[in-house]
Amino acid sequence: LLHQVCKSGVCVNNIPGYTCYCSSGFIYHHTLLECVDVDECEQEDSCPGGLCVNTVGSYFCTCHPPLVLDHSQLRCVLPECAVRPFCVPPEEGVSLCWQQVSADLVCQSPLGRRQVSFQECCCLYGEGWGLQCALCPGTDTGRRPSSAEDCGILGGCENGRCIRVEEGYTCDCHHGYQLDMASMTCRDINECEEGGPASECVNARCVNTDGSYRCICWRGHRTRRDPWTRPNRTRDEWHP
């Protein structure tokens, strides 16, 4: 019976109940009663500056040129930082400047290894800025630019509102999102992080969602109108 409630894990019998220990990269699923893979790529801080690829029990990162993996193999940095374990992170508000943007909106030809502000890049050197290829405002070519070009940010401030500022453009993010200065995009806030508002998920598991979160009650509990759960025989979930 113990193996049926702790599949792929190590079950330790307690009095009363039991404890299921899962291997690194796995977490116990109270509904399936087994250890399931953790998708590390769902975490906001996975592979900063690069692309996260989830694998069974682990994950790995890939980088877009000219960036390379640092000594930890979990972060994309400029080549000179790859051989310096304690390389100082780039100044907030500056990033790579791309001198060309292809027809399918792929940034090309970086301005050497120099990092500049969004305004300096778009006014003096290039057509795109940052690791996420934020588009510079379109020039007066006789055609009306798209909302993304007019805002100067790839995606046109998705999950936010584009506003003009003295330095150029920025995003006023919707509730549940915060501005990422490195990419000038509105990123989802992970309320399930320790100390976040999802600490209200008492006797429940917090699940982060796009712009919000929800609480899924542990087995033997059900939801109340108040932000906590109470014992019962049903499983339920509530949303903030």
> Could you tell me the pLDDT band of residue 142, with boundaries at 50, 70 and 90?
very low
Taking the C-alpha atoms of residue 140 and residue 115, their distance in angstroms, rounded to an integer, is: 26
Instruction: For 110-140, write each residue's pLDDT tens digit.
Output: 887 778 887 778 888 888 887 767 777 765 4
Other CB atoms within 10 A of residue 118 CB: 23
What's the mean pLDDT in 93-122? 80
Of 106, 181, 211, the closest CA to residue 171 belongs to: 181
Q: Which residues lie closer than 8 Å to 116 by C-beta, 6 or more apart?
A: 94, 95, 97, 125, 129
Residue 152, pLDDT above cutoff 70: no
pLDDT at 173: 82
pLDDT band at 80 (very low <50, low <70, confident <90, very high): low
Does residue 12 have a pLDDT over 60?
A: yes
Cis peptide before 79 (omega within 30 of 0): no
State pLDDT tens for residues 188-205.
Answer: 888 887 666 656 677 788
Question: What is the structure's pLDDT at 67?
Answer: 79
In the predicted model, what is the mean pLDDT of residues 138-153?
46
Query: What pLDDT is recorded for position 156?
Result: 60
Better-scored residue on pLDDT, 219 or 209:
209
